[in-house]
Structure 1
Amino acid sequence: MEKTVVITVLMLIFGKLCWESFLSWLNMQEARRRQKAPPLEILEVMDQKTYQKSVDYSLAKERLGLFNGVYEVLVLILILFSGVLPWLYSLFSGPGSEISILREAAFMIAALILISLPGVPLEYYNRFNLEERFGFNRSTVRLWVTDKFKGLVISLVLGMPVLCLIIFLVMNLGDLWWLWAFLALFIFQLIMMVLYPMIILPWFNKLTPLPQGELRQRLMNLADRTGFKARTIQVMDGSKRSGHSNAFFTGFGRFRRIVLFDTLIDQMKEDELEAVLAHEIGHYKKGHVPRMLAVSALMSLAGLWILAWLVSVPWFIQAFGFDHELSGPGPGLLLFGLLFGAVSFWLSPALAQLSRKHEYESDRFAARHVGPDPMVRALRKLSRENLSNLTPHPLYSGFYYSHPTLFERERAIAGQ
């Protein structure tokens, strides 16, 4: 049975890599083909020089993505089959030591830190070479290192108690531990939706209320007439790390808030910002947040059910060099976490399609409340300033894109 597990895992890992590589190749070929003869509609969005830069940026990201995909697979296979994980586990379980919650959690944290280290050089290259080359990086090495350290601290502070709780449930609640784990994780997710913008995000970015003035009054009037009743609209200093612009909606109920990047405010006119805000309000009014939360909950429930079965059978962890008789739940939980992405990856098209449906609905909501012209101009400006790929291969965008392409959105707005 252990041999079957190994073969299945390798098929999943390499199947994912081959499909990712094929999609990237298709997308690069499409970009090169369009580069020679761009459609006229593209030149209405960006000039020839900017379009060429966007193509170069897309190709550079795809090349890095191809390398990163192969690199990650090699690291994952080395981690899984070299015996390093059983060796690391033995360091936390000396002769005669009992299986304990803290031991299992400490092993998992140590393993996750070890596994993340090979990816750090690629993150550095992406930030300080690729993004720098195309004028997006505004971070410094010191800020980048500080962010990594803060992220590690937050992961330990939040992750350790959650891991300990899950391990406790596995060890003490019998075959139905996964139902209690789902409930605990769901409550934790709801709490984090509230606390993230209030406690965690300020560790990395400065959030300030949009200053009094014509723009603020205009946006607050929009919130009132659409029934959003926003307590505040916040501005985030995203420009200290990147030239990319964005806006996002977070929280729920009385804790909901909309955050605008300062780069977005610098780039857009007031009616365009109004359209962006109307789009974000549309997500709230259309119930997209609870809908996506429900989808996430169903996926978590299914994943935990599968996990409960895998940690109960000896052959799962034994296929990777662990002794089932001497092991606690830590190895099984860790291995499932490492391999889950190779399975959930194939759900990407369905999740992306649902997300694109939400984007169309929010676009229509915004167009009804501020007019189609400001919405289209805002979308075009976002695409131009972020050097978006305006002509992705349909199979690529259908599999990955959580947002429709610019021209798909424009056609939907015009046809509403």
Structure 2
Amino acid sequence: MLHYIIIAIFVLDFIWEQYLAHRNRKRMSPHIPDVLKGIYNEEKYARQQAYQKEYSRFGLLSSSVSFVLILLVLVFRLFGWLDGEIREHIVFPLLVTLCFVGVLYTINELIYLPFSYYATFTIENKFGFNKSTKKTYWSDQLKSLLLAILLGGGILSLLVWFYNDFENTAWLYAWALVTAFSLFMNLFYSNLIVPLFNKQTPLEEGDLRNAIEQFAQKTGFNLTDIYVMDASKRTTKANAYFTGLGKKKRIVLFDTLINDLDTDEIVAVLAHEIGHYKKKHTLQSLITSIIYMGVLLYILSYFIGSRQLATALGSDIPSFHLGIIAFSILFTPISLVLGLITNVISRKNEYQADAFAAKYGLADSLVSGLKKLSTKSLSNLNPDPWNVFVYYSHPTLLQRMKKLKEIK
């Protein structure tokens, strides 16, 4: 019975995702909607629609392939079969889990690498976004693989050890490990991980740095580290991010952002990010994720040793890796509800960060900057409302423009 429940949840989740994707496709039109006039012109809108349609078809294909393959694995209980094959050659539980996960990871990469390659060098090339060379692309793949082996393999090994050896208190050790790793990444991601892929250089002295520093001083935001990242060697799309905690804060600007926006617009975008910090959204998000992970690991501890779940996946021996797979599927409905709540809170926080920027007279510059970023990346500015409610962590551009207008 549990076997069929797992399959039913997996199938219903796929149907739900495809229904929402279908609703988004129905919104596409060769004629520019009135709400987008003045943001997209006819030519740019036609390109945006072509780009969205291309990715919609591509997403349908890739997700369908994934669905069919995993469904076959679940129906024929191949997870259990693989577990049994590995156990014929390996006895030590930790090595069984590492080998099991390693095999699945390898198969997954081999199947989806062609999709990633096509998206980068066909779709992104076609619309002028991709600047990555094939050498850079394969180098990125290799580095990502090594990070997955070193970081992922190390953390997985510790988690398996905890759950195999500490029984009822294992989730507490696992929680401490995941929390420590999250804090470490918050503090050192930009210093240790990003340099493996991109060069970051301090923003040179000049009008832009002066404007950023003056605004930071005006808001009482202690900022000394402002870096520029060479994102243009991979893409024309622009972005910026804010990392670190306490005194160890860093703002990183994509060089494409500096090329696309003027000084006031960049300051407005950063004002929005500083608003998140001032409103303690970053801290709230971190604390919430830590609590959420603790609850998740506690519930997971009841799945790890379940013989019924192992049997549902085709094995007679309960294990960490089979428990994780069963849990990830059975938890899907709860995860969907929690995701809805998280996105509602996140969109509220985005409005508050926008209001912070507007308080300093940057509403018009923020709107102007967001328009440029959205139109240059050919973003879907008129998505289906259900998709926004379910998936969007940020309000749409039109919603943000409306709210900023009300604030002014």
User: What's the TM-score bracket when you normalise by the shorter of the two chains?
Assistant: over 0.9
| Correspondence for 2:44 among 41, 50, 59 | 50
Matches for 1:47-196 after TM superposition, within 5 Å: 47-94=41-88, 98-196=91-189
CA contact 1:278–1:365 (8 Å) conserved in 2 = yes
For 1:404 and 1:235, the matched residues in 2 are separated by: 27
- Equivalent residue for 1:388? 379
- Equivalent residue for 2:10? 13
Task: Give the C-alpha shift of residue 330 in structure 1.
Answer: 3.4
Q: What whole-Å deviation, never above 9, does each CA across 1:282-323 have from its counterpart, x for those lacking one?
A: 111111112112222233223212211112220101111112
For 1:347 and 1:72, the matched residues in 2 are separated by: 24
For 2:184 and 2:66, the matched residues in 1 are separated by: 32
The farther-off stretch of 13-22 and 115-124 is: 115-124
For 2:342 and 2:65, the matched residues in 1 are separated by: 26
SS in 1 for 2:301: helix
CA contact 1:359–1:404 (8 Å) conserved in 2 = yes
Give the residue type in structure 2 aligned to 1:264.
L
For 1:125 and 1:99, the matched residues in 2 are separated by: 40
For 1:359 and 1:59, the matched residues in 2 are separated by: 28
Q: What whole-Å deviation, never above 9, does each CA across 1:201-239 have from its counterpart, x for those lacking one?
A: 110111111111111111111111112211211111111
Matches for 1:293-304 after TM superposition, within 5 Å: 293-304=286-297
The farther-off stretch of 370-379 and 72-81 is: 72-81
1:347 aligns with 2:344: no
For 2:161 and 2:143, the matched residues in 1 are separated by: 27
**TM-score, normalised relative to structure 2:** 0.94
For 2:4 and 2:226, the matched residues in 1 are separated by: 52
The farther-off stretch of 248-257 and 342-351 is: 342-351
Q: What whole-Å deviation, never above 9, does each CA across 1:72-104 have from its counterpart, x for those lacking one?
A: 111222333445434443454346x54343443
For 1:400 and 1:337, the matched residues in 2 are separated by: 19
Q: What whole-Å deviation, never above 9, does each CA across 1:178-215 have from its counterpart, x for those lacking one?
A: 12211211111111111211111110111111111111
- Equivalent residue for 2:395? 404
CA contact 1:12–1:343 (8 Å) conserved in 2 = no
For 2:93 and 2:14, the matched residues in 1 are separated by: 37
CA contact 2:276–2:282 (8 Å) conserved in 1 = yes
| Correspondence for 1:282 among 265, 268, 275 | 275
Q: Measured at CA, do residues 318 and 157 of structure 1 come closer, stay the same or move farther in structure 2, by a change above 3 Å?
A: same
Give the residue type in structure 2 aligned to 1:53.
R
Task: Give the C-alpha shift of residue 117 in structure 1.
Answer: 2.5
CA contact 1:108–1:331 (8 Å) conserved in 2 = no
CA contact 2:275–2:352 (8 Å) conserved in 1 = yes
- Equivalent residue for 2:31? 36
For 1:38 and 1:286, the matched residues in 2 are separated by: 35
The farther-off stretch of 386-395 and 293-302 is: 293-302
Question: Any stretches of 5+ residues in structure 1 without a counterpart?
Answer: none
SS in 2 for 1:379: helix
For 2:56 and 2:390, the matched residues in 1 are separated by: 15
SS in 2 for 1:234: strand
Give the residue type in structure 2 aligned to 1:161.
G
Q: Measured at CA, do residues 128 and 359 of structure 1 come closer, stay the same or move farther in structure 2, by a change above 3 Å?
A: same
**TM-score, normalised relative to structure 1:** 0.92
Matches for 1:318-397 after TM superposition, within 5 Å: 318-324=311-317, 328-337=319-328, 344-397=335-388
- Equivalent residue for 1:25? 22
1:315 aligns with 2:312: no
Q: Measured at CA, do residues 329 and 407 of structure 1 come closer, stay the same or move farther in structure 2, by a change above 3 Å?
A: closer
The farther-off stretch of 186-195 and 330-339 is: 330-339
Q: What whole-Å deviation, never above 9, does each CA across 1:12-48 have from its counterpart, x for those lacking one?
A: 111111111111111111122xx42521x42211221
Give the residue type in structure 2 aligned to 1:168.
W
Give the residue type in structure 1 aligned to 2:48.
S
Q: Measured at CA, do residues 285 and 50 of structure 1 come closer, stay the same or move farther in structure 2, by a change above 3 Å?
A: same
Q: What whole-Å deviation, never above 9, does each CA across 1:109-147 have from its counterpart, x for those lacking one?
A: 332232332111111121112111111111122211111
- Equivalent residue for 2:204? 211
SS in 2 for 1:361: helix
Give the residue type in structure 2 aligned to 1:178.
W
CA contact 1:127–1:137 (8 Å) conserved in 2 = yes
Q: What whole-Å deviation, never above 9, does each CA across 1:322-369 have from its counterpart, x for those lacking one?
A: 121xx5433323543576557524433222212111111111111112
Q: Measured at CA, do residues 355 and 263 of structure 1 come closer, stay the same or move farther in structure 2, by a change above 3 Å?
A: same
- Supply the RMSD in Å over aligned alpha carbons: 2.0
Q: Measured at CA, do residues 204 and 79 of structure 1 come closer, stay the same or move farther in structure 2, by a change above 3 Å?
A: farther
Q: How many residues align?
A: 407
Q: Measured at CA, do residues 277 and 370 of structure 1 come closer, stay the same or move farther in structure 2, by a change above 3 Å?
A: farther
